[in-house]
A and B are shown apart, each in its own frame.
Chain A
Amino acid sequence: MSGSKMTTSHFRRRLVATTAAGAFLAASVLVGTATSADAATAKVTKGGTLYFITQQQQFDHVDPARVYTGRDIAFFNSYLYRNLVSYKPTKGAAGSSLVPDLATNTGVPSNSAKTWKFTLRAGATWEDGSAVTCADAKYGVSRAFATDVITDGPQYLVAALAIPTNADGSSQYKGPYKKTGQALYDKAVTCSGSTITFKLNRSFADFNYALTYPAGAPVKASKDNGDKYDLRPFSNGPYKIATYKIGDEMHLVLNTKWSQKSDTVRTPNADDIVVRFGLVENVRDQIMLDDSIPNTVNLDGLQPANNLRFFADPKKATQRMNVYDPYVRYAAMNVSPGHMTCLDVRKAVFFAMNMQALIDLSGGTIYYGVPGDSPVKPVLGLDYAKTTGNIHDPAWNINGAPDKAKALLASAKSACPDVYAKATDPSKGISWDLSNTATNQKASVLIKTAMDAAGIVMKFNFIPSGQYYSTVMDPTKQGDISTAGWGADWANASTVIPPLFIKGGGFDLSQASTDPDYAAFKALSDKALGTTDRPKQAAMWKQLAQMAMDKYWIIRPVFGKGQFDWGSKVGGVYYWEPQGTYGFGQLFVKN
């Protein structure tokens, strides 16, 4: 991406903030000049139709086991399906705290957090009036194992449950459709009355956070129709799906079987919720600029020029938010043999980079993001610490430091001649993977200009955007540098450091496992994962982030920002930090 702005839909992970860093968060999450105080000050009104508009043709997924973007998780968790535990639906750092949802508490760990128990509360029902049972919760979790049907969803529960794996790392349990290995699952997840017990293969101190994902939500087995469940999941939340037509609209109506008494998390305000899909960007933006449908929330960002107009208009001051989004954008250095194995060359590329130009290309520091110094974003609070080196190096210049880069290259000439030769030979050059978008085409010119000034030969591998990640995740197809973005799944760098740098972590584009220092890194990472003392664990994550930055496994992280806009008749808007989006559940239509 290289400084380009990726849309939220390109990312699958989400970022949360910790309560431990409340003061910092209050100051840092909301940026820019205008925010909404609606949630705190406006009088909540009931009724009306709340509209959402988007250019997208459909939600990526609606099936709880397959939903994996923060926005969609927040949307459906607020309206349609309930988890055992949820994030508190409130603004600020408090929004990242866990509250019991279908369970009576946030989980009881035992056996060094290798066993977790949750007891379901009474009174929760499905939209047909039947009770939500422990068997439903057990069935819901089992679906994630059916990887032939349930695609795209998070795999934390699959990886964590104490079920043996095959030689290729896949689980021996194949899900509830084929039932292969069913006995293994029945041993790992048990029901006793209304209490569900999860037996894990390691200490997992924040396992309850993993259950904030809808992949851990109950599903009524008799209503599960496999792939088609993605069109019409059965609701146990305050709304249910009346219609969902891809490319047209989703219409949610109040679920009359839902009871406020059984739900301390949700407060349905609107009578109807309508999501209109497929609007042309110009039309979508015009609706927001003209406020022609004031009870509308924009699920996308505005186009850059319209975004500037909207955020410059004082009349729109209470209809917008400019916030740090959940993501860190960065360039992963592929350190596997034959690629960027030379530290000096990796550093040379970093110092040569004109970060200012790249950030400006995508909206500048006000709307796109600011240079970062860690794979862990500051909003993660406890696990973030300012690193040394990289952007804090005295030689670093946001506009590029070609002389420093040249010096590093000169050093590389003797230290690692093969990589040096590749980086400076016009017939070879370093290959940089980019998603093939108009912005990235422009970004490549800026990168090339900066690299030319430092004497580095840079070539670009433009990959169709739809298959970008699946291509660069294939070691046989990945180039020397790959643009990427990542956000933590919950308030713990356990969802950042291991995925990004540990082999098999899920997103190890740096292929750090081939680095000579990897063994020490992995040992410390494993130790951190098994540490239930949170401050001690946080200290280890900080140390690991510093190590990754010192090794330049990733370069030029950008702490990204996102903009949100809505109509004048929409109240109750706030930024729900753990989900990185609107707090959907509290939105209402003003009288």
Chain B
Amino acid sequence: MLKYLARRLTATFMVIVLVSISVFMIFSFLPMDPARLTCGKACTPAVVEGNRHRLGLDVPVQVQYVRFVKGIFVGRDFGEGAAKFSCPAPAFGYSFNKHECVTTLIAEAFPVTFSLAIGSFILWLLVGVSLGVLAARRQGKWVDKASTAFVLVGNSLPTFISGILILLLALKFNLINPIEMGRWVSPFKDPIGWASNFILPWMTLALAYAATYTRFTRSNVIETSSEDYIRTARAKGLSEKVILRKHTLRAALAPILTIAGLDFAGLLGGAIITENIFNLPGLGRLSIRAVLIDYDLPVILATTLLAAVFVVTMNLIVDILYAYIDPRVRVA
């Protein structure tokens, strides 16, 4: 098991390194010039070159990458003379657009994204799995038909539509104060304020995911219910409740929980659309603005890396759990 673990950890580390190199290269070779973007209107070539130096983009891309990696371990200095300042390790760079070390920006954005992800995750699991099980148990009945309709609506409505609809309805019926919308409140200081701020984004995200999970759970439960061992359990005289709880759900939900873990990890990288609609200052909004508007390379790199780390780590956890459950995986 230890050998397997070491192998997987090495592979995970390599994936993260490769992702960082890839992202660095992709954004270095795109026909966008961050030095020009920071230049404003009356921007002469001399000013562009000055900005390029300030941003640290006047050296070969491999040197930029080495500086970036070094900064993660030992921190990094920026500016010259009296205007010199430092970003302590782990330094992912400095955002000249936001005048802040990228690590600080991420530290501020992560709790928002985590709050969004965990709330919607719980909501979609509760709704999706419950509805899926119910639909499977009442095949062909109105509950099943209603769940099919829910799946259809949930899967058909992209979040940028459902989010705007939910938001405009809430505004129309004065359910939210738009001026307060998106303001970050710590759940440890004001749990009600925190929850009320996230309820609409949770609903938006959960709607799409719950629809998928309803369909998935329903088909898994139906499939598992037709297995021989379920029939055997029934023949042994076990009650339907016990069969469902002890045998059907255990088997049917295992793959669902695996996918849920990966979906959750994906969301931790930032729910771009939902965060933007509800003005949530999370990782998704941070990264999409860095890509589309500010072209803020240090922020792009850090948020992409972070998202990759979440997914890769969750994959690792899942793999380890699988290896624990099924020893054949260790030697595969």
Closest to B96 in A: A227
Bound complex: CA A151 to CA B54 (Å): 10
Bound complex: CA A116 to CA B293 (Å): 42
Q: Are B184 and A248 in contact (CB under 8 A)?
A: yes
Bound complex: CA A170 to CA B46 (Å): 9
Which stretch of B33-41, B224-232, B233-241, B248-256 is in the interface? Answer: B33-41
Which stretch of B57-65, B76-84, B307-315 is in the interface? Answer: B76-84
Q: Are B178 and A287 in contact (CB under 8 A)?
A: yes
Asked whether B181 is an interface residue with its Cβ less than 8 Å from the other chain, the reply is: yes
Q: Are B44 and A473 in contact (CB under 8 A)?
A: yes
Q: Are B79 and A149 in contact (CB under 8 A)?
A: yes
How does the 8 Å CB contact mask read for B70-99 relative to A, with 1 for contact and 0 for none?
000000001111111100000000001011
Closest to B105 in A: A246
Choose from A58, A151, A246, A279 the contact partner of B51 (Cβ within 8 Å): A151
Bound complex: CA A182 to CA B32 (Å): 37
Min CB–CB distance B285 → chain A (angstroms): 7
Bound complex: CA A274 to CA B181 (Å): 14
Q: Are B42 and A507 in contact (CB under 8 A)?
A: yes
- Name the A residues within 8 Å of B85 (CB-CB): 225-228
Q: Are A467 and B36 in contact (CB under 8 A)?
A: yes
Known: A227-B99, A470-B37, A473-B44. A53 touches B179 (CB 8 A): yes
Known: A227-B96, A278-B279, A467-B37. A148 touches B53 (CB 8 A): yes
Asked whether B306 is an interface residue with its Cβ less than 8 Å from the other chain, the reply is: no
Known: A170-B46, A230-B99, A280-B276. A148 touches B40 (CB 8 A): no
Which stretch of A26-34, A257-265, A288-296, A411-419 is in the interface? Answer: A288-296
Which stretch of B113-121, B147-155, B167-175 is in the interface? Answer: B167-175
- Name the B residues within 8 Å of A507 (CB-CB): 41-42
Bound complex: CA A363 to CA B39 (Å): 29
Known: A282-B168, A286-B171, A473-B43. A276 touches B179 (CB 8 A): yes
Q: Are A147 and B47 in contact (CB under 8 A)?
A: yes
Choose from A274, A278, A280 the contact partner of B281 (Cβ within 8 Å): A278
Q: Are B178 and A470 in contact (CB under 8 A)?
A: no
Q: Are A296 and B179 in contact (CB under 8 A)?
A: yes
Choose from B54, B84, B179, B285 the contact partner of A293 (Cβ within 8 Å): B179
Q: Are B174 and A248 in contact (CB under 8 A)?
A: no
Among B51, B182, B289, the one with the most A-chain Cβ atoms within 10 Å of its Cβ is B182
Q: Are B41 and A469 in contact (CB under 8 A)?
A: yes
Closest to B177 in A: A293
Choose from A68, A176, A245 the contact partner of B82 (Cβ within 8 Å): A176
Choose from A151, A170, A231, A296 the contact partner of B38 (Cβ within 8 Å): A151
Interface, chain B (partner A; CB < 8 A): 32-33, 35-48, 50-51, 53-54, 78-85, 96, 98-100, 164, 167-168, 171, 174, 177-179, 181-184, 276-277, 279, 281, 285-286, 289, 293-295
Interface, chain A (partner B; CB < 8 A): 10-12, 51, 53, 57-58, 68, 146-149, 151-152, 155, 168-170, 176-179, 225-228, 230-231, 245-249, 274, 276, 278-280, 282-283, 286-287, 290, 292-293, 296, 464, 466-467, 469-471, 473-474, 499, 506-507
